[in-house]
Amino acid sequence: MPQQTISSGPQQAPTPTVFVLFGATGDLSRRMVLPAFYDLFCRGLTPPEWVLVGNGRGADADQDFAERVRASLEEFGPGSDKIDDKQWKDFSDRLRFAGGGFDETDPGSLLDVIGEAADGIGDGAQYVHYLAVPPVAFGEVVAGLAAHDLLKNAKVVFEKPYGTSLQSFTELDEQVHSVMKEEQVFRIDHFLGKEATQNLHVLRFGNAMINKIWSADAVAQVQIDAPEPLDVAQRAEFYDATGAFKDMIATHLFQVAAEVAMDPPASIAPDDLQDAREQVLAAFRPLDPSEVVFGQFDGYTDIDKITDDSTTDTLAAVRLWVDTDRWRGVPFVLRSGKRMAGDDQLVSLIMRETQGPLGDLDDAAARLEISLKGSGSIAVALIMKRPGPDLTLREERIDLSLGEVSGGEALDPYVALIHDVLLGDRSLFTSSAGLADAWRVAEPVLADPPEPLPYEPDGWGPKQAEALTDGLGWMTERE
């Protein structure tokens, strides 16, 4: 079929923008935000007029900040050999730095710098305040934005975690909503920005043969698995205070589960997509601690800045139930952990056992798999006859890499999400109501966390986590 572009509804054109990056000299800005913004610029997806103002406690001159940005692009962006000199000059000419920190009583030099930036790009500029700061500083920055009258015509971007429990989420959300409207708030979850996650909509709603099997009638179990081979040494203090359950399950994987489980939205307009996710998150049953397994890899407490008696979970696996007509009775089994043997990020819809003349077959042999890793891929595993004189059955996979779909180029999740912020498109961002339900579902486990079980590094975690799959095993381990 010819290429077809579907509109998600009216979108604001990229207006002149002052992009204020709080925590501009920190690790998150260096690794993610600044390379993503440069990628947007190189693709011609930034507004025609923009200025990026970095904010921090130091006293960097604009040129010093530009050199920091260049270093981050060389390490985490395209690399020094791929940075075009003319593009870099055009980009770096729009960089400013406002030092002296920022809080409710002292804005440092930020007001002067952004005032000058706004004057330079013309009338009607929008402000995007990106909070690449530790979550404990969210409230302080929000109070400062309100006190210094910086929320008019503004959007505010929050990194996760947006709260660490239902109580802390509620306190932060009440503070935020006391000074700004919900439509100004953009809570980033980079899993929702992945190309493959976005393709879940199209796979379901653009293909009737897939949509027909997307329910308890055909699906026996849904698995969402995100193992990681990396350890936590680079962010040990943050991780030890957070753990795998809060870092991955209650945030990223709950949102992916909502993408899988939601009923068809009224349209693909941002509000309708958010409404569909919110409705299904409200139907998530609170977790039963007896259906949750925590693990901790051997050697975790030997890492610098980790105490010898730490009980932080480096692996978490849960069985989640979705109480809707579409999914009632189907277990959603979620897992994520550090120092594991694989690094795929796989959503697996395992089909019900076929009753018929071929007799008993492998319970998990027929399945639909969506890999969220990189550009993503879609695979169908089917029972086929092996060529030859005998009726010998085997499992075969048909794979489609989304990176090979013609006519386009995948965007990094941060690139896609920052672009949507500039346009005012909130369809891939978490909502207040949805996050409240996510923390409600997690609350029983936070109140009564299981004791972490030891597991060997570079393996697949404690066997108790596999038991949550009801004997099917984790699909990521079948390769």
Q: What are the residue boundaries of the structural domains of the chain, listed by start?
A: 17-159, 195-412+454-477
- Per the CB < 8 A criterion, the answer to whether 300 and 320 are in contact is no
What one-character DSSP code corresponds to residue 442?
Answer: H
Class of 195-412+454-477 per CATH?
alpha beta
- Give CA–CA dist 366/351, Å, rounded: 6
Place of tokens 């690139």: 415
- Identity of the residue numbered 89: K
Q: Among 163-167, 352-356, 457-461, which stretch is predicted with the lowest mean pLDDT? A: 352-356
- Give CA–CA dist 380/400, Å, rounded: 9
pLDDT for 7 beyond 60: no
What percentage of the chain has pLDDT greater than the value 90? Answer: 67
At a CB cut-off of 8 Å and minimum separation 6, what does 275 contact?
Answer: 265, 266
| Per-residue confidence (pLDDT) for residue 11, from 0 to 100 | 46
- pLDDT, one tens digit per residue, over 191-245 is 888 888 888 888 888 889 899 999 999 999 999 999 999 988 778 888 998 999 9
| Per-residue confidence (pLDDT) for residue 406, from 0 to 100 | 66
* DSSP class per residue in 127-174: EEEEE-S-GGGHHHHHHHHHHTT--TTEEEEEPSPS-SSHHHHHHHHH
- pLDDT, one tens digit per residue, over 48-100 is 999 999 998 877 788 999 999 999 999 999 988 899 999 999 999 999 999 98
Long-range contacts of 97-101 (CB under 8 A, 24+ apart): 97/24, 97/53, 97/54, 97/55, 97/56, 97/60, 97/61, 97/62, 97/64, 97/65, 98/53, 98/54, 98/55, 99/55, 99/56, 99/57, 99/58, 99/59, 99/60, 100/57, 100/59, 101/55, 101/56, 101/57
At a CB cut-off of 8 Å and minimum separation 6, what does 304 contact?
Answer: 233, 236
pLDDT for 448 beyond 70: yes
- pLDDT, one tens digit per residue, over 120-177 is 887 789 999 999 998 889 999 999 999 999 999 999 999 988 888 999 999 999 999 9
Using a 10 angstrom Cβ sphere, with 0-12 exposed, 13-18 middle and 19 or more buried, the burial of residue 309 is exposed
pLDDT for 357 beyond 90: no
Could you name the CATH architecture of 17-159?
3-Layer(aba) Sandwich (3.40)
List binding-site positions for NADP(+): 23-30, 57, 160
- Give CA–CA dist 361/365, Å, rounded: 7
What is the band of 1 on the pLDDT scale with cuts at 50, 70, 90? Answer: very low
Q: Token pair for residue 253?
A: 């994987």
- Give CA–CA dist 302/435, Å, rounded: 34
Predicted TM-score (pTM) above 0.85: yes
What is the band of 381 on the pLDDT scale with cuts at 50, 70, 90? Answer: confident
Nearest to 296 by CA among 465, 474, 456, 469: 456
Nearest to 310 by CA among 124, 474, 449, 114: 449
- Identity of the residue numbered 24: A
- Per the CB < 8 A criterion, the answer to whether 338 and 232 are in contact is yes
pLDDT for 361 beyond 70: no
In this predicted model, which residue has the larger pLDDT, 435 or 3? Answer: 435
On the CB side of 92, CA atoms within 13 Å amount to: 20
What is the band of 2 on the pLDDT scale with cuts at 50, 70, 90? Answer: very low
- pLDDT, one tens digit per residue, over 41-54 is 999 999 999 999 99
Query: What average pLDDT is seen over the chain?
Result: 90
List binding-site positions: 23-30, 57, 160, 190, 194, 228, 247, 338
| DSSP bridge partners of 97 | 54
Active-site residue, from 129, 201, 252, 419 = 252
pLDDT for 114 beyond 70: yes
Using a 10 angstrom Cβ sphere, with 0-12 exposed, 13-18 middle and 19 or more buried, the burial of residue 118 is buried
What one-character DSSP code corresponds to residue 475?
Answer: G
| Per-residue confidence (pLDDT) for residue 394, from 0 to 100 | 72
On the CB side of 358, CA atoms within 13 Å amount to: 12
Residue 252 bears catalytic tag: yes
Q: Among 112-121, 183-192, 327-336, 388-397, which stretch is predicted with the lowest mean pLDDT? A: 388-397
On the CB side of 408, CA atoms within 13 Å amount to: 12
- Identity of the residue numbered 157: V
- Cis, peptide link before residue 161, omega less than 30° from 0: yes
pLDDT for 354 beyond 50: yes
List the helix and strand counts (H, then E) for the chain.
Answer: 16, 15
- Per the CB < 8 A criterion, the answer to whether 321 and 331 are in contact is yes
